Chain A
Amino acid sequence: EAGVVQSPRYKIIEKKQPVAFWCNPISGHNTLYWYRQNLGQGPELLIRYENEEAVDDSQLPKDRFSAERLKGVDSTLKIQPAELGDSAVYLCASSLEGRQNNEQFFGPGTRLTVL
């Protein structure tokens, strides 16, 4: 069974440029999460989807970040415009449901460098 797929694996852009990350969760998983992991820190949740609905985006910087999950499967996270402080690893995870203790499966992440 394929795991969570993310692309690209690495991205280098200049500040003020836009960037997008794509995630394909494990088949059948209704819940999808985007986390940001700054260097030397643990991941922090940005947004959670139940099917196509964003049910928690309280940590998403909405002035420059946006996300979508069309048809409740794939998801895209976008930053426009990017800032130097956005350099981080962006992780996607999925679980069967969003209830506590449903195991989350993580993708390999996209490492973003903003110059």
Chain B
Amino acid sequence: GNSVTQMEGPVTLSEEAFLTINCTYTATGYPSLFWYVQYPGEGLQLLLKATKADDKGSNKGFEATYRKETTSFHLEKGSVQVSDSAVYFCALTLSGGYNKLIFGAGTRLAVHP
């Protein structure tokens, strides 16, 4: 079936460290891919998205590239800040269908000074 797999957390980093959160997917057709972020006490927010192969989504210093050959959409940031501490969710929607988001389990990121 259609699914998203993320690396398990928590991920603990020092400020200014490089971040990678791995995400791979299984889906029929040509899905669109998303990263959502959930800050403590807040709702899920769209961080970035990519709708076709080789597209790169970017926002707030975060990037992810849609790799169809490896069915991956890894999230990266060159220099994390304490304010980036949150839970990050990788998700997809299926092509030809409606806007149903299928989420991974989430990865908690903790950045310390």
State the A residues within 8 Å of B (CB): 3-4, 31, 35, 40-45, 48, 55-56, 91, 93, 95, 97-109
Contacts and interface: CB of A to CB of B under 8 A. Distances in A.
A99 B41 CA distance: 29
B46 A103 contact: yes
A102 B100 CA distance: 10
Chain A interface helix/strand/loop/mixed: loop
Chain B interface helix/strand/loop/mixed: loop
B93 interface: yes
Contact of B44 (A45, A55, A106): A106
Contacts of B97: 100
B80 to A, nearest CB: 22
Contact of B100 (A45, A106, A109): A45
Size range of the chain B interface in the assembly: 20 to 34
7 contacts: A93-B44, A99-B98, A100-B96, A100-B99, A103-B46, A106-B45, A107-B43
A35 B103 CA distance: 11
Nearest to B42: A108
A91 B43 contact: yes
A105 to B, nearest CB: 8
Given A3-B43, A104-B46, A43 B93 contact: no
